[in-house]
C-alpha cells in the first residue's frame, strides 16, 4: 500500500468524521493534506458527488498548489474546490502545518453572528478546547467565498498564525500538523460554541475560568488528545 493511498484513505475518513459531527452539511466543506512543498491532496467534487458524509478515497485528488493536476488523470471527472485558496494560502503561510480543514459548523457561525466571543468558559470539560480559546479565537470578518489568493491571504492575515479562524457568516478554517488534529480542533471549537449558546439561552453570562485553574489543566499529550480521541471518532462512523 503506497503512502498516497493511505493518505487518501485517511483524508476521506476525516471528511466523514467531520460530517458525522455536523461540522459540514451536504456538499459544502473540504479538507486537504500537504504532500510536499508543491503538492497537496484535497477533497474534490465530481458530477456524481453525494456529499462530504459519503467521501471515498477516490474523491481525494493529488494537485499542485496552483490547482493543476499533479499526476496524469488526477482531475479526470473532478474539480478542485472553489475555495482552494483557503488551503494553499494557509499552508504557504504556516509551513509547519500539514493539514487544513475548511468546515461550516452552524453553532460557531451562530455564536459569532450573535456577538459571542468564544472564550475558555470551561476547563476540565474539554481541556484541549479551553486551551484553543485561551488566547482568543480570531475572526475573519468578511462573509465571502474565498475563491482567489487575495482573499485567501486576507483570511490568513486574520488568522494571526493561530491554528483556527472563524470566517464570519461562513464557517471556520482549522490548520494542524495532522488531518486528525485539524478536525479535532474543529470539534472542540464547535463544542465550545454550543455550550456558549446554551449558557446564554439559559439566561447566564459567559466568564473565563479563573486564571489559577490553568495550572491544574495540564496538556494531556497527543496520545490522549489526538490518538485516543481520533479512535473514538472513527469508531463512531465505522
Which residues are part of the catalytic machinery? 83
Q: In the structure grid, which three cell numbers stand for residue 203, read together?
A: 439566561
Residue 182 near residue 175, CB atoms below 8 Å: yes
d(CA 94, CA 88): 10
Q: In the structure grid, which three cell numbers stand for residue 90, read together?
A: 494557509
Q: In the structure grid, which three cell numbers stand for residue 66, read together?
A: 496552483
According to DSSP, the β-strands at 60-64 and 39-43 are antiparallel
d(CA 13, CA 11): 5
Residue 175 near residue 6, CB atoms below 8 Å: no
Helix axes 229-237, 179-201, angle to 10 degrees: 80
* Grid-cell match 469508531, residue found: 235
Amino acid at each position: 500500500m503506497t503512502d498516497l493511498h493511505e493518505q487518501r484513505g485517511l483524508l476521506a475518513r476525516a471528511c466523514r468524521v467531520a460530517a458525522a459531527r455536523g461540522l459540514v452539511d451536504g456538499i459544502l466543506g473540504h479538507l486537504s493534506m500537504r504532500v510536499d512543498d508543491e503538492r497537496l491532496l484535497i477533497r474534490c467534487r465530481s458530477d456524481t458527488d453525494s456529499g462530504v458524509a459519503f467521501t471515498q478515497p477516490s474523491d481525494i485528488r493529488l494537485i499542485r498548489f496552483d490547482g493543476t493536476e499533479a499526476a496524469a488523470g488526477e482531475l479526470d471527472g473532478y474539480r478542485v474546490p472553489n475555495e482552494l485558496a483557503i488551503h494553499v494560502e494557509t499552508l504557504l503561510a504556516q509551513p509547519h502545518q500539514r493539514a487544513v480543514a475548511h468546515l461550516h459548523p452552524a453553532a460557531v457561525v451562530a455564536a459569532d453572528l450573535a456577538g459571542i466571543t468564544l472564550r475558555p468558559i470551561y476547563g476540565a470539560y474539554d481541556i484541549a478546547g479551553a486551551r484553543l480559546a485561551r488566547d482568543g479565537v480570531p475572526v475573519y470578518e468578511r462573509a465571502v467565498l474565498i475563491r482567489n489568493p487575495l482573499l485567501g491571504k486576507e483570511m490568513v492575515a486574520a488568522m494571526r498564525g493561530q491554528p483556527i479562524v472563524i470566517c464570519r457568516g461562513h464557517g471556520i478554517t482549522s490548520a494542524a500538523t495532522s488531518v486528525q488534529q485539524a478536525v479535532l480542533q474543529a470539534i472542540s471549537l464547535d463544542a465550545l460554541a454550543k455550550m456558549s449558546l446554551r449558557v446564554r439561552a439559559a439566561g447566564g453570562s459567559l466568564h473565563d475560568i479563573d486564571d489559577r485553574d490553568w495550572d491544574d489543566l495540564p496538556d494531556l499529550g497527543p496520545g490522549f488528545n489526538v490518538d485516543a480521541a481520533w479512535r473514538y471518532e472513527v469508531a463512531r462512523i465505522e
